[in-house]
Chain A
Amino acid sequence: MASTVHSDSDDGMDAFMDKFKTQRYKNAFSENDWEEEFNKIPMFMKNAPEEIDPQKYPELACLQSIIHDEDRPPEEQAKSLKDEGNAYFKEKNYQKAVVAYTAGLKKKCADQDLNAVLLTNRAASHFYLGNMRSALNDAAAAKKLKPDHLKALIRGAQCCIELRHFSEAIQWCDEGLKVHPTDKKLRELRAVADKHKRAAERDARKAKAKEKKLHGEKEALLNAIKDRGIKLVQPVRAHRSGSDSEDEDERSPAAIAELSLDGLSSQEVTGAQVFVDEQGSLQWPVLFLYPEHQQSDFISAFCENSCFTDHLAVMFEELPPWDADRKYLPQNLQVYFEDEEKETLYRVDPEMSLLKILQHKRYFVKAGTPSFIVLVKGSSYWKQFLSGRKIHGLTSCSN
């Protein structure tokens, strides 16, 4: 029995209240998007938007301008910026944190404790961003302002460790321990830095020992070659100084001794290298050239005591596919080496050991790989190849 029990003064009120039963109020949250709407209200926001567009978020923009009001004293502004930075830091938004702290430092307020904190916090942000040098610089600046600032000291030490500057890290820890002698973190960092430092020293010693060993082996090899009177030559294209008498220089004993093993390693694809075997004999990588067919063969370890006959017998047991004429039978083959300088061919006695051949006074090992020319005796190519050249038969070897 809703009787009209309104007094005169409540007229407007009742009418007003009645409206709610029927009319929606303006700008009401709808059932669908009330959560989103809530998130737009500063007080109820779960996350702040990345950028504050005053059109979309007028209240936020308003708050921001209050916070960053240029009329407030610099200390207050700096503190607000510090808080802002800290908030970003908590969210792991380190880039934004850096921006905020930097803005805070720009205020150049007189509160050095605050500035030290701003620097230290920015250092932490840089640390998590992986900018170790920036972090270290900030920590050092903070330390300068406040030499006993524990967080700055710890951060500085941590940065040094990440940068692998272990001695510096220990210095930071020691500085810190002077002021905070019982701090556990500093103690632990010092022990870690010390351990790494000593491990790095060990690594350096190990590398040096290895290098020395390698060098020793190189020298022994070069000596073995030199002792046999075998002459090594750098290939002309690899020679740097390019003097006219470079060949002369290279043949002198001193030059030979100075040749690094790079002069020995094969410039060919193989990468094989001469070495001393367990019996103390040299094993050479040897190149066999077949100019008739533009072919070559490679023996990676030709023992100096073995001879060509032995190898050729094995190599040409089955004739190679490029030997169209089927004529490269071991007994038909002749081996030569070329003395480039004198443009002379020397014929090799295939029964002679490689060692004796290499010791020939006109034999020069190029690029650490002795090479020899193989021809078929009596063939037309053979005639052609040998015509017009100086030829020596091999009678004696070294001189």
Chain B
Amino acid sequence: MLSDSEVAELLSFLTPSTRPDVKGQATEYILGLSGNRDGCRFLRSKPDLIAALFALTSDPSIAIVKDCYHIFINLSADETLHQVLLKDVKVLPVLFKNLLDPEYPFSDQICTILSNLTRHEKTCKTLFKVLQEDVGMAQLVQIFCTEGYNKNAKLHYLGPLLSNLTQLPEARNYLMDKDRCVVQRLLPFTQYQSSVVRRGGVIGTLRNCCFDHAHHEWLLSDAVDILPFLLLPLAGPEELTEEENEGLPVDLQYLPEDKKREEDPDIRKMLLETLLLLTATKAGRQTLKEKNVYPIMREFHRWEKDAHVTAACEKLVQVLIGDEPEEGMENLMEVEIPQDVEEKLKEAYAKEQEELEKEEEKRKQAEEEDEKKKKSDSEQTDREQESGLIK
């Protein structure tokens, strides 16, 4: 890497008073460094450089600021850098202050950095504490849910940030505070068309929240009414009988014929997992059965092509149409699983995942072949076609 004298020279270029072109070259160079793991690790040993770069985020030149933020996005993606960033360079207070500013042009970059910083529990915990002091979760949710809060930034990455934060029970408890109206504000975003990042972040947040089965009853009650918002992305335009319609939650009745389902299979899977979580308690199972979730899943199952998602759907359907578990096991989350059974389950799960992968690969390949065939058919080439993996 660089020698000590080279580092010192570089540092001298990172002052506000340096000529813009020199400054620019220096930041460009470091950006290159930050792009790979070794470069990141090297920078980790030079907190002075990082501090200088952070100071440069207030530089008048937009190009320089952009590069600096880009560097921090890269740095924050590496967990080993988190300690330096939070403790030595102390980025959080400044980042939060700028995030709150509705005019700040680089808020999207800040959101990405914060999202990176919260991926792993340790830093997440530290960040959450500072967040509560400087901004407060309530304000964060408020900013997230206010359309056009910042004219220069979309703030979609607050979604994954929230999702990461909810790995902490303290964050979940705040979101699901019965005396406040916090989680309710997130619900409409399960259908937010313009950003898969925002949508996925919200659904990830809701899924995490549903790990706390103590809150299930409240989540399913009118005070929150989480169920329709989880089902809507999975519901399609298929016509249901009048009887089936009338039994559904209000938001799912009489859906128009141009209703589209969630396009991202990972998000579909997350939704199904969240619904499955809600069937952990007896009351939850009962509610889902009463609210006619089954017809929605029936049509969904017919439509779904991805093997992983179908498997998740089938698991849910099994609980919906299956018998009630025996006494003592009504809360599926609290059932004691003996060690050897757990081992076997893990093995079985791993095997199932492998098989699903293979199935999914096959299906994707078949789709691709179909596409290619259509293409060459329509081009009407004369050359002989090799037969592909067509089922």
> Could you list which residues of chain A lie within 8 angstroms of chain B, going by C-beta atoms?
173-174, 177-178, 181-182, 184, 186-187, 190-191, 194-195, 198-199, 201-202, 205-206, 208-209
Contact = CB atoms under 8 A, between A and B. Distances in A.
Nearest to A205: B254
Contacts of A195: 222, 225, 250
Contacts of A209: 254, 256
B253 interface: yes
Nearest first, the 4 closest Cβ-Cβ pairs linking A and B are A205-B254, A182-B179, A206-B254, A202-B250
26 contacts: A173-B181, A174-B181, A178-B142, A181-B138, A181-B180, A184-B179, A186-B181, A187-B179, A187-B181, A187-B223, A190-B181, A191-B223, A195-B222, A195-B225, A195-B250, A198-B228, A198-B250, A198-B251, A201-B251, A202-B250, A202-B251, A202-B254, A205-B254, A206-B253, A208-B256, A209-B256
A186 B184 CA distance: 13
Contacts of A177: 180-181
Mostly, the B contact residues are loop
Nearest to B254: A205
Interface in B236-278: 250-251, 253-256
B139 to A, nearest CB: 10
A205 B180 contact: no
B179 A205 contact: no
Contacts of A186: 181
A86 B250 CA distance: 42
B237 to A, nearest CB: 11
A205 B222 contact: no
A186 B142 CA distance: 16
Contacts of B138: 181
Nearest to B139: A178
Given A199-B250, A202-B251, A206-B254, A191 B142 contact: no
A182 B182 CA distance: 10
Given A191-B223, A198-B250, A205 B181 contact: no
Contacts of A187: 179-181, 223
Nearest to B250: A202
B254 A181 contact: no
A178 B225 CA distance: 21
B222 A191 contact: yes
Given A182-B179, A199-B250, 13 more contacts: A173-B181, A181-B138, A190-B181, A190-B184, A195-B222, A195-B225, A198-B228, A198-B250, A202-B251, A202-B254, A205-B254, A208-B254, A208-B256
Nearest to A201: B251
A177 B181 CA distance: 8
A194 B228 CA distance: 13
A205 B142 contact: no
Contact of A205 (B184, B223, B225, B255): B255
Contact of A181 (B181, B222, B251): B181
Contacts of A201: 250-251
Nearest to A206: B254
Contacts of A198: 228, 250-251
Interface in B174-194: 179-181, 184
A202 B222 contact: no
Contacts of A194: 184, 225
Which of B179, B253, B255 gathers the greatest number of chain A CB atoms within 10 Å? B253
Contact of B253 (A173, A178, A190, A202): A202
Which of A184, A205, A208 gathers the greatest number of chain B CB atoms within 10 Å? A205
Interface in B202-250: 222-223, 225, 228, 250
A184 B251 CA distance: 25
A202 B228 CA distance: 13
Nearest to A182: B179
A186 B181 CA distance: 9
A195 B255 CA distance: 17
Interface string B141-178: 01000000000000000000000000000000000000
Contacts of B142: 178
A282 B253 CA distance: 34
A341 to B, nearest CB: 44
B132 to A, nearest CB: 14
Contacts of B255: 205
A199 B222 CA distance: 13
Contacts of A182: 179-180
A187 B183 CA distance: 12
B227 to A, nearest CB: 12
Nearest to A187: B181
Nearest to B246: A206
A21 B251 CA distance: 87
A172 to B, nearest CB: 13
Nearest to B146: A174
Contacts of A191: 184, 222-223
Contacts of A202: 250-251, 253-254
Contacts of A205: 253-256
Contacts of B222: 191, 195
B11 to A, nearest CB: 45
A205 B252 CA distance: 10
A284 B50 CA distance: 88
B198 to A, nearest CB: 19
Contacts of B228: 198
B191 to A, nearest CB: 13
A191 B256 CA distance: 25
Interface in B75-128: none
Contacts of A174: 181
Interface in B309-368: none
